[in-house]
Amino acid sequence: MSTLSRAPHEMSLLPMTTIDTTASSAPTSGTGLACVAEWLTTTDHKRIGRLYLGGGALGLLSAVVVAVLLGVERISTTSELLEINSLSQLFAFERFGLTYLALAPLMIGVALAIVPLQLGARSLAFPRVAAAGFWLWLVGAVLAVYSILNNGGPNGGNPRFVELFNVSALLVLAGLIAGVVCLVTSILTTRAPGMNMRRIPYFSWSVLIASLALSIALPVVAGDLLFTWIAYRYPSPENVLSSSRAINDWVGFGFSQPTTLLFVIPVLGFFAETAATASGRRLVPRGVLFGAIGLVGTAVFATVVQTPVTLRPAFSALDLGDKLADLAPFALVHGLPLLGAFVAVALVAKALATRPKLQAPLFFGLFAALLFLSAAAASALLHVGDAALGGTTFEEGNWLTVVFAGVIAAMGAVVYWGPKWWGREMSNKAVLPLALLVFLGAELAALPLMVAGFADQPGAVFPSVNADSNAIVAFDYAGNPSLWNTLSTVGLALATLAVLAFVALAVRSFRGDANAASDPWEGQTLEWAATSPAPADNFPVVHIVSSAEPLLDLRISDRSGR
Amino acid sequence: MLALPAAPAPAPRRQLLVGTAVVCAALTALLGGMFALYVRLRDESLAASGHWLPEGVSVPMVPANVMLCAILPIAIFAQWAVYSAKRGDRVHAGLALWLVALLAVAMINAQANIYARMNVPATGGTFNTMFYALTGLMVALLVSGALFSAITAFRYLGGRTADRELVTAHALYWYFLSFAFSMLWFVIYVTK
């Protein structure tokens, strides 16, 4: 393994001056209040990212425990584990929690913590905006949970708390949008000299695509939430925006596919990154892989126009014939993302044919990419009108696949880039089984729900089940009705336990003095040129980049020089 | 010992301008989504009941048109500030920035006049909710724009005359607002 360090002549060079280099996050030296103040006021992107990761982990664990309880409740209509009147709000908590309190912060947190390092930048663009975004998200998250607990979530019975939920969801979205704006600006403006757009790392590219898509899609969700908030604040019987199902009807698309798919686009970049590192080769053709990841971003069309049905009149006007007028909008909003995901995964998998090193992050990346691929396929199937899967548990299974694709990728990112954030490594052997367990748990949780969806088990984004407890297990199915719900619950419980074990292992591994090498995986991109843990301003000098894999080039030239 | 080649400090890359452009794109999506839902619910209401505006409510066109007449000079003044800043003309740049802020305040005043003359209660039908949500959001954006102008003017006149990117970003924000208000004027006040 090559040791990367600075040449003596570099010491005299001026630091990069185009971006904020005053990140106030030298290693914590104080204790108590000083330490808290440092974290509260930090502008170091690694700390902001880690705050998001911590918040996302808490959100994940709380929401997934509720999901397991709901799964147990679903096994039988006679179950009295949960209060029947609370089911609607618990479903809302599960959906909102896993999407916006777990998946979104985990993905944005990883991106904030690593992208500037990958770009060779000394800081994130607008770090104070990103920090403010985290605190907005946190306040919104706490208020949203509080309002749901008080029967104020979607379909809730307490109008004042439903109103509070609207405001808090707006705060959550505002925080996330602040984060993605900083990421887009960073990638477009803070790249190291020589790093043109074709040379940016795969993960950063996928983050750029996801961030651009989210910066268009999330405001649309926020706009509809703004309407429902004002409608709940000033309700009237004739106002369709203040009806009991208004949030479900008008904002539900923000909690379902393909909107949720946008959050996990970086999964593809992470898989490419870890596969390139494990194989020790350049992934080719780079442009096609970039294009494939970019294609997944077309899912944003579906989010913004909400349904191919909306697009159909435009295609009908072109006199293409009925069949083509049906197929073209569907292919645009659901087919292209699936095609992009398939091409990206296939291209990356090709690199694994040459006996890659068995590194744990590669497996996390592979499992996450497989889940992403199945989620994209299921999302396309969900929107086939003749399959009539809308409103069934198929959508719920599809959504769980998306969530766990993001969760596994975030876990893999912690393993892979942990040395840059904490200065310590996690044991390869210890985390590998956990990756497999979460993957199996996620598949076991999602697939039975999809099968039950084909048998017409009702499910929805925010189900209204208060009136009829039988509704949640009602099937058009002759077999044992509890079978699929039992399997799904077992899968969720397995995934939950594996995530818990991972969190415990991570906390244990990352405590204590820093001892990780600068480049423990023999990575190819610029973040591995920084020390472990990376200092507050990332790099003491600005590096020139002359290829997409500068560290691989160095290693090759070192070998050929010997 | 391996080391990547080091570089001198790179040239500035217009971070503020790019950030403003991304924010403007996000705000365009926000307003675009809201307009789309407004148009959809209006069409559904017209198809179902034949009316959209609450009974007895009329939209005062004069202040709405005054707002439209104000937003176009704002875009010109914002560009005037950029032009003057590039030539190092502090007096004209400052004058243009303060004129932008003044016209923004005049637009907010015109919107208050519309609220007073329409006298639509917030509690009512779907139109009431959407009208206040859209126009209220526009007022919030105008207030942000006025603050942006004031901050830009203070920074520029305070001696940071080399910070021309801020003046350019300020102009970009007002171009966006000109476009956004033109859409609002057409959707809410003209087609109602």
Distance CA A340, CA A136 (A): 33
Count the alpha carbons within 13 Å of B113 in the hemisphere toward its beta carbon. Answer: 14
Q: How confident is the model at residue B145 (pLDDT cuts 50, 70, 90)?
A: very high
| pLDDT score at A25 | 44
Say yes or no to pLDDT of A57 above 90. yes
Chain B residues with CB-CB distance to A223 below 8 A:
29-31, 33-34, 37
For residue B141, give every residue at least 6 positions away whose Cβ sits within 8 Å of its Cβ, in sequence order, or none.
B27, B177, B180
* Residue B10 to residue A16, Cβ atoms within 8 A: yes
Q: How far is B6 from chain A (nearest CA, A)?
A: 4
Distance CA A286, CA A347 (A): 9
* Nearest-by-CA chain A residue for B124: A236
Q: Mean pLDDT over residues B68-75, rounded?
A: 92
| Integer angstrom CA distances of residue A290 from A278, A297, A334, A349, B18 | 19, 11, 19, 15, 22
Distance CA A222, CA A177 (A): 10
Residue B83 token pair: 């032009």
For residue A168, give every residue at least 6 positions away whose Cβ sits within 8 Å of its Cβ, in sequence order, or none.
A139, A140, A141, A142, A143, A144, A146, A147
- The model's pLDDT over B147-185, given as tens digits with 9 standing for 90+, comes to 999 999 999 888 887 778 999 999 999 999 999 999 999
Count the alpha carbons within 13 Å of B64 in the hemisphere toward its beta carbon. Answer: 21
For residue A83, give every residue at least 6 positions away whose Cβ sits within 8 Å of its Cβ, in sequence order, or none.
none
Chain B residues with CB-CB distance to A14 below 8 A:
8-9
* Residue B33 to residue A219, Cβ atoms within 8 A: yes
Distance CA B124, CA A122 (A): 53
- Residues A181/B19, Cβ–Cβ less than 8 Å: yes
Distance CA A182, CA B27 (A): 15
- The model's pLDDT over B79-105, given as tens digits with 9 standing for 90+, comes to 999 999 999 888 999 999 999 999 999
- The model's pLDDT over A167-197, given as tens digits with 9 standing for 90+, comes to 999 999 999 999 999 999 999 999 999 899 9
| pLDDT score at A182 | 96
Q: How confident is the model at residue A491 (pLDDT cuts 50, 70, 90)?
A: very high
Closest CA to A472 of A461, A480, A463: A463
- For testing the chain A interface, which of B16, B22, B126, B139 should be mutated: the one with the most A CBs within 10 Å? B22
pTM over 0.80: yes
Say yes or no to pLDDT of B77 above 80. yes
* Nearest-by-CA chain A residue for B11: A18
> Helices B126-157 and B15-49 meet at what angle, rounded to 10?
160
* Nearest-by-CA chain A residue for B13: A189
Instruction: List, in sequence order, every residue forming a beta bridge with A392; answer none if it has no partner.
Output: A458
Closest CA to A342 of A436, A268, A399: A268
* Residue A4 to residue B3, Cβ atoms within 8 A: yes
* Nearest-by-CA chain B residue for A195: B10
Q: How far is B42 from chain A (nearest CA, A)?
A: 11
Chain B residues with CB-CB distance to A550 below 8 A:
4
- The model's pLDDT over A440-488, given as tens digits with 9 standing for 90+, comes to 999 999 999 999 999 988 887 887 766 566 777 777 787 787 899 999 9
* Residue B34 to residue A224, Cβ atoms within 8 A: yes
| pLDDT score at B12 | 61
* Residue B4 to residue A193, Cβ atoms within 8 A: no
* Nearest-by-CA chain B residue for A194: B7
Say yes or no to pLDDT of A258 above 90. no
- Residues A67/A99, Cβ–Cβ less than 8 Å: no
Q: How far is A336 from chain B (nearest CA, A)?
A: 22
Task: Kindly compute the dihedral angle of the four CA atoms of residues A28, A29, A31, A33, in this order, to the nearest 10 degrees.
Answer: -60
Q: How confident is the model at residue A304 (pLDDT cuts 50, 70, 90)?
A: confident
Q: How far is A539 from chain B (nearest CA, A)?
A: 11
Distance CA A246, CA A229 (A): 10
Chain B residues with CB-CB distance to A4 below 8 A:
2-4
Q: How confident is the model at residue A56 (pLDDT cuts 50, 70, 90)?
A: very high
Q: How confident is the model at residue A562 (pLDDT cuts 50, 70, 90)?
A: low
- Residues A466/A85, Cβ–Cβ less than 8 Å: yes
- Higher pLDDT residue, A28 or A162? A162
* Nearest-by-CA chain A residue for B40: A310
Residue in A2, A226, A554 closest to B137 by CB: A226
Residue in A215, A250, A542 closest to B6 by CB: A542
What are the DSSP calls for A270-334, one per residue?
Answer: HHHHHHHHHHTS--S-HHHHHHHHHHHTTHHHHHHH--HHHHHHHHHTTT--HHHHHHHHHIIII
% of residues, chain A, pLDDT over 90: 56
Q: Mean pLDDT over residues A71-84, rounded?
A: 79
- Higher pLDDT residue, A84 or A535? A535
Q: How confident is the model at residue A30 (pLDDT cuts 50, 70, 90)?
A: low
Count the alpha carbons within 13 Å of A154 in the hemisphere toward its beta carbon. Answer: 27
Chain B residues with CB-CB distance to A6 below 8 A:
3, 6
Q: How confident is the model at residue B9 (pLDDT cuts 50, 70, 90)?
A: low
* Residue A226 to residue B133, Cβ atoms within 8 A: yes
Closest CA to A147 of A104, A103, A89, A190: A89
| Integer angstrom CA distances of residue A514 from A60, B53, B77, B130, B138 | 28, 66, 56, 55, 51
* Residue B19 to residue A542, Cβ atoms within 8 A: no
Eight-state DSSP code of residue A255: G
Residue with tokens 């969700």: A221
Say yes or no to pLDDT of A20 above 60. no
Say yes or no to pLDDT of A298 above 90. no
Say yes or no to pLDDT of B11 above 80. no
Chain A residues with CB-CB distance to B1 below 8 A:
3, 5, 7
Residue in A9, A223, A234 closest to B30 by CB: A223
Say yes or no to pLDDT of A84 above 80. no
Q: How far is A84 from chain B (nearest CA, A)?
A: 32
Distance CA A223, CA B136 (A): 12
3-state secondary structure of B178: helix
- The model's pLDDT over B106-141, given as tens digits with 9 standing for 90+, comes to 999 999 999 999 888 888 888 999 999 999 999 999
* Residue A223 to residue B34, Cβ atoms within 8 A: yes
Distance CA A118, CA A192 (A): 9
Say yes or no to pLDDT of A8 above 70. no
On whether any CB of chain B is under 8 Å from the CB of A521, the answer is no
Phi, psi of A458 (to 5 degrees): -70, 145
Interface contacts (A, B; CB < 8 Å): 164
* Residue A215 to residue B19, Cβ atoms within 8 A: no
Q: Mean pLDDT over residues A393-410, rounded?
A: 96
Distance CA B154, CA A240 (A): 46
Distance CA A124, CA A189 (A): 10
Q: Is the dihedral of CA A181, A185, A188, A191 positive or negative?
A: negative
User: B129-153 burial string, b = 16+ CB within 10 Å, else e?
Assistant: bbbbbbbebbbebbeebbebbeebb
3-state secondary structure of B19: helix
| pLDDT score at A29 | 53
| Integer angstrom CA distances of residue A19 from A2, A115, A120, A441, B115 | 30, 15, 12, 43, 44
Give yes or no for a cis peptide into A258 (omega within 30° of 0).
Answer: yes
On whether any CB of chain B is under 8 Å from the CB of A238, the answer is yes
Say yes or no to pLDDT of A342 above 80. yes
On whether any CB of chain B is under 8 Å from the CB of A11, the answer is no
Say yes or no to pLDDT of A17 above 50. no
Residue with tokens 């040791």: A3
Residue in A230, A541, A551 closest to B129 by CB: A230
| pLDDT score at A1 | 39
- Residues A546/A553, Cβ–Cβ less than 8 Å: yes
Segment of A16-25, A34-43, A125-134 carrying the highest mean pLDDT: A125-134
Say yes or no to pLDDT of A123 above 80. yes
Residue in B9, B23, B129 closest to A241 by CB: B129
* Residue B129 to residue A544, Cβ atoms within 8 A: no
Q: Please state, rounded to an integer, the average pLDDT across all residues of chain A.
A: 87
Q: How far is B9 from chain A (nearest CA, A)?
A: 5
Instruction: List, in sequence order, every residue forming a beta bridge with A542; answer none if it has no partner.
Output: B7
Distance CA A356, CA A271 (A): 13
Q: CA B164, B165, B167: angle at the middle one, nearest 5?
A: 65
Q: Please state, rounded to an integer, the average pLDDT across all residues of chain B.
A: 90
* Residue B124 to residue A236, Cβ atoms within 8 A: yes
Instruction: List, in sequence order, every residue forming a beta bridge with B7; answer none if it has no partner.
Output: A542
Say yes or no to pLDDT of A2 above 70. no
| pLDDT score at A15 | 39
Chain B residues with CB-CB distance to A7 below 8 A:
1, 3, 6
* Nearest-by-CA chain A residue for B18: A185
Task: Kindly compute the dihedral angle of the four CA atoms of residues B137, B140, B141, B145, in this order, to the nearest 10 degrees.
Answer: 170
3-state secondary structure of B2: strand
Q: How far is A218 from chain B (nearest CA, A)?
A: 8
